[in-house]
Amino acid sequence: MPDLLASALDGSSVATGAPAAASSIGAPTLIWRDGEILRDGVSHRILAGSIHYFRVHPDQWEDRLRRLAAMGANTVDTYVAWNFHERVEGDVRFDGWRDIERFVRLAGDIGLDVFLRPSPYICAEWSNGGLPSWLSGRVAALRTSDPDFLAAVDAWYDELIPRLVPLQASHGGPIVAIQIENEYGSFGSDAAYLAHLREGLRRRGMVEMLTTADGITGDMIEHGSVPGAMATFTFGTGVARAVELRREGDALMCSELWGGWFDHWGERHHVRSAASTGGTIAELLAAGGSVSLYMAHGGTNFGLWNGANHDQVLQPTVTSYDSDAPIGEDGTLNEKFHALRALFAPFHAAELPAVPAAPRRQGAATAPLEPRAALLELIATLPVTGDVSPRPRTFEALGAEDGLVAYEADVSFPADAMLTIDGLHDRAVVFLDRQKLGVLERDGETSLALPVDGGAGRLTIVVESLGRINYGPYTGEGKGIMRGVMIGRRLVNGWTHRLVPQDAPVPVPGGSADASDGVAVASFGIAEPLDAWLAFPGGSKGMVWLNGFLLGRYWKVGPQETLYAPAPLWKVGRNEIVVLDTDRLGSTVEIREEPSFGDTEEFIGS
């Protein structure tokens, strides 16, 4: 074993020894020593930007990577989202959109290095922080040395890491650095867990430079670092503090410099000026540091992959992950792109690639949105999952990854009775027989009045997971009805469950053509497949499919008003859009020529 690898395993926190040529199999291409990153013995800066392959249509990977190179980056950084590859335990996928090897090879072909972040947990405002819901449903001690958690991680790494080993720079590929865990110092203090991840990477053949990434407090650095890995930072501003906290021998690097920020439903769209972002990056570069801009291109939380934060209340993330990045959600280049290109250009011996042309978009158009079935009519067509149970079952117990689950029970109730959901995660539309009684939310009203004169009927509660928490101590929290449903003080028993698929709803024979909620369809005739921005005026709370692909969600609370529909999802001729709105359908679908992310506010993450 080369000395550098041995030192990583025997507890040394600073890589030592003579640098080896990148062509030597088994020797890392980058090392850190005496406060510098060295490449073949020469001082090296990592100028990276984050692009997540799982947030970009694979037909657009090359375009986005070329835009990153034109910005002046020499490296792309990407997480690996475990739950994106293993949605069902044991069914691990690396094909199509999940072909991480192809993404890495494309980056190398374009001339970019790759900073890989394959840890089990990624945060990233991604559902469950990247952890599979089937795992968090049965393991409480996530991100620890709990044997059940480590067994699952090891099985995942046995599938993932051997695919990446040949793509390391030491084998002629583009991977030059690997992050062990992500901001662990703000979560836990299990040093054995971090060591297990480090040793698991090395044992499976990862030889390149290892890193960790944490916020700019001493406590975070202490508990997020592990011997054998270079400690790096995450911040929006704070270069001076990072310089103070940098460990002896470590190079200065910000692995996530937040040049923008994500959005939550019900808040404003967050932006950060080019001057502010460029100023912090310039300060970091002047201090001799390396940088990865988070995000260089944010992309989209397609499907139901958005995560959520929890700060006293649940804060679900919107479908767009534009993040006010230099390369916009559809590839548009903004002022921030050009400012960073000017900053990075002096670090390149050759001219930067030419600035790519602006993406082309479809022209404005409108189509009628025609109801096909009410929400309850759709639910009635779905099969019952499992047996009748005394208490309502959680999403995890039902094998529901995300989305909608309908809970049904026969009830009787006295006059002036109240219905309460105890442990609602996250939002529920409540019906008695065919009458809609109201909407309940976990951090709002969780009780409503039943018909005042009393009675009996079939209770249907359609529960939506708004996004699995991706950061903090509530990561891994369950979804659905966590405890029970009560009429007054009495628990309701005898529940059946129906899972609403994430596939586009199929036609319901005899469905209502005048339904106010539920399923509706629109179509557009397209001469040339180009990017588009879709809007749903008058719609309240819905999911949208384009030609069978789940684009994401809209919600009247904003800020996001338009959904990005990338060109590869369109086809020449008729294109079908299906909407499932739990609250109120609009009457039209619009193709707009410009995105609308909502009212803005300047925001710098901390």
Query: Is residue 375 over pLDDT 60?
Result: yes
Q: Is 48 a residue whose pLDDT tops 70?
A: yes
Q: What is the pLDDT of residues 516-558, one digit of tens each?
A: 999 999 999 999 999 999 999 999 999 999 999 999 999 999 9
Alpha-carbon distances of 477 from 82, 283, 319, 401, 446, rounded to whole Å = 17, 39, 20, 12, 18
Q: What is the pLDDT of residue 422?
A: 98
Inform me whether the pLDDT recorded for 436 exceeds 60.
yes
In the block, which residue shows the tokens 């001729």? 573
Distance of CA 361 to the CA centre of its chain: 25
Q: Which residues are catalytic?
A: 183, 256
577 within 8 A of 516, measured Cβ to Cβ: no
Q: Is the pLDDT of residue 21 over 90?
A: no
Q: What is the pLDDT of residues 196-214, one digit of tens each?
A: 999 999 999 999 999 999 9
What's residue 170's pLDDT? 96
Answer yes or no: is pLDDT of 279 > 80.
yes
The mean predicted confidence, pLDDT, of the chain is: 95
Q: Work out the percent of the chain whose per-residue pLDDT is above 70.
A: 96
594 DSSP β-pair partners: none
pLDDT band at 26 (very low <50, low <70, confident <90, very high): confident
Q: Is the peptide bond before 529 cis (omega within 30 degrees of 0)?
A: no
pLDDT of residue 25: 60
Place of tokens 């359908």: 585
Q: What is the pLDDT of residue 505?
A: 96
Angle of helix 100-110 relative to helix 61-71, nearest 10 degrees, comes to 40
Domains of the chain: 47-303+310-347 (3.20.20.80), 365-373+504-602 (2.60.120.260), 383-500 (2.60.120.260)
- Say if residue 4's pLDDT is above 80: no
User: In angstroms, how far apart are the furthest CA atoms of the chain?
Assistant: 84
Residue with tokens 């620890």: 144
pLDDT over 90, % of the chain: 95
CB 113 within 8 A of CB 250: no
Question: With 60 as the cut, is the pLDDT of residue 381 above it?
Answer: yes
| Strands 468-469, 307-311: pairing kind | parallel
**What is the C-alpha to C-alpha distance for residues 113 and 105, in angstroms, rounded to an integer?**
10
Q: Where are the alpha helices (DSSP H) in 326-450?
A: 335-344, 375-380, 395-398
Task: Say what the pLDDT of residue 606 is.
Answer: 80
Q: For strand 269-271 and strand 600-602, is the pairing parallel, antiparallel, or unpaired? A: parallel
Q: Please give the Cα distance from 76 to 84 (Å, whole number).
A: 20
